[in-house]
Amino acid sequence: MARAGILYSDLASAAAQLVAEGKNPTVDNVRVALGSTGSKSTIAPLLKRWKGEHQETVVEVAQGLGLPGPLLQAMKGIHEQLQDDVRQQLEQARDAHHVALLAAHAATQQAEDEKQAISQHKSAVDAELAQARASHAQLDTQYQSLCVRQAALQAEQEGVQQRLTDRTTEVAALNAQLIQVRTQFDFYLDAAAQQRTQERQAADQRIMRLEQELVELRQQHLQQQSTIARYETRIPQLQDENNQLNGSLRDVEKARDAYRTERDQVTYQFTEISAERTRIVKNLAEAQGAATEARIALASQVGKTEVMAEQLASKERKIDELDQQKWVLTEERAVLQVRIMHLEQRQPIAQESEPGDSVQT
């Protein structure tokens, strides 16, 4: 960037003053004429513009220095050829950088596609895809790293452009310094060739690194696909286990409902039997009272008729029947009490199994 106060008019005045004094208007001479102000990268394009507008004056100054016209033409051709070579190398570097950017963009797009594919399965197997999420976060980190590297490549490209501009400035300076052209020309060619080789090697190394990173990203993609496939194979198994647990829960609920119905029936039967027992006990008490009264009457009236004896025998038979019914009812009561105890013991077990089944579901 040009410093404040460095204008084309100032540079043109300084260059014209140098020509008037018979000096060669090089970058260094112009900078000294400007008071050692401004950078060479700022002065060089402005001086190139001024030389293009005052080419005849520059040629006259060069001829005044004693250089022949054919040598000037040859140097001009060499300068143009160097500019073409530099421009071609710049275009090749831009193409290589564009290819690298396309590859990085493709890798980024592929990583985004993988992220969408993993997100689709997230709701079904959220707990089991924690590792996949971690891998996805790692891919995002690598993507950010690629973006940083892309920015670094762009910065390097700008640096290459700046260096090419500086080299162009140096070529203009060398073209102006015709006295030292024979000794510095070969050195410059060697330096430029070595720099082009180094830049080409650096570009090749960057491409190799990008290709290696692309291979690593593809390997990670394959690992992600295998992990997702393994999770997808486990999903039907988990669904079958869930269906089996649901079936077991329904069976337990049916058994619980059956136990409740049976308990209600037994409770109802026990209530009826208890009421019947109360009635029988009442009748038995009445019969016993009647038998006692009959026995007292029989003791006081021994000499009564056979009809009374038969009635007494009939009462005794009835008492025996009632006693037998009492024993039967007592046994049935004991059986019912045992069944009620079993049902009461089985009911807490069924209630305890219900929360566990609901948790498994």
What pLDDT sits at residue 132?
64
Query: Cα(253)–Cα(297) distance, rounded to whole angstroms?
Result: 64
Give the Cα separation of 242 and 237 in Å (integer): 9
Dihedrals phi, psi of 172, to nearest 5 degrees:
-65, -40
Distance CA 106, CA 221 (A): 13
User: Which residue has 């400007």 as its token pair?
Assistant: 34
Rounded-to-integer distance, Cα 224 and Cα 137, Å: 12
Distance of alpha carbon 309 from alpha carbon 270, whole angstroms? 39
Encoded amino acid at 137, one letter: A
DSSP 8-state symbol, 25:
-
Q: What is the pLDDT of residue 240?
A: 83
Quick one: DSSP state of residue 178? G
Tens of each residue's pLDDT in the chain, 361 residues: 444 557 888 888 898 888 888 888 889 998 998 888 888 888 888 888 888 877 666 555 555 554 455 555 555 556 556 556 656 776 777 777 778 788 878 888 887 888 888 777 777 767 777 776 787 788 778 878 777 877 887 788 788 688 878 878 876 777 777 777 677 767 777 787 888 888 888 888 888 888 888 888 888 888 888 887 887 787 788 778 778 878 877 887 887 888 688 888 878 887 887 788 888 888 888 878 887 886 787 677 667 667 776 887 888 888 888 888 888 888 888 888 888 888 888 777 666 665 555 444 3
The residue type of 148 is V
**Plot region of 5 (φ>0 → left; ψ -120 to 50 → alpha; else → beta):** left
Burial 182-205 (b: 16+ CB within 10 A, else e): eeeeeebeeebeeeeeebeeebee
Q: What DSSP element (H or E) covers 237?
A: helix 181-300
